[in-house]
Amino acid sequence: MTGLDQARLLALAIPAALLGGAYISQYGFGLYPCEMCWWQRYPHFAALGAAGAAYVVQPARVWAALAGLAIITSGLIGGFHAGIEYGWWEGITGCSSLPSSIDVMDVSAAPLVRCDIAPWELFGISLAGWNFLISLLGGGAILALAAYRK
């Protein structure tokens, strides 16, 4: 298997696995996403599109690299989000604080989820933190494999 083949496979597998885990967490375990969690999902959707294009559109290396960059973008958003959850820096006010008053008629059926509280952790790392780690390492590997010519 060539470096390009490996890059394309990773470019499909990483965002698919991370999005799959996010949706299983949401619908299987009730861990509803906050606004910043959604922000992390969008680049993964873009990465899936670019990874698919890497199989049918030339130059495939460019599309694989774009997928890798989208995955890294999600990871950087996840790192920022994790820092907010750990209290390392202030979050975005609208996302990290509860509204001062809630109008019962305006509240949707979806739960209000804060961005500054980690709903789940594994080994002290939040879901946003795991996205940061996996996405940066995986995206970096994709870029390296896509650049490797042999």
Does 99 reside within a domain? no
- The single-letter code of the amino acid at 120 is W
Q: What is the CATH number of the domain that holds 58?
A: 1.20.1550
Distance CA 128, CA 149 (A): 33
Distance CA 9, CA 54 (A): 10
Q: What value does the mean pLDDT take over residues 93-98?
A: 64
Q: pLDDT per residue over 4-51, tens digit each?
A: 999 999 999 999 999 999 999 999 998 888 989 999 999 999 999 999
User: Which residues make Cβ contacts (< 8 Å) with residue 139, sequence separation at least 6?
Assistant: 14, 68, 69, 70, 71, 72, 75
Q: How many CB atoms are closer than 10 A to CB 147?
A: 14
Does 127 reside within a domain? yes
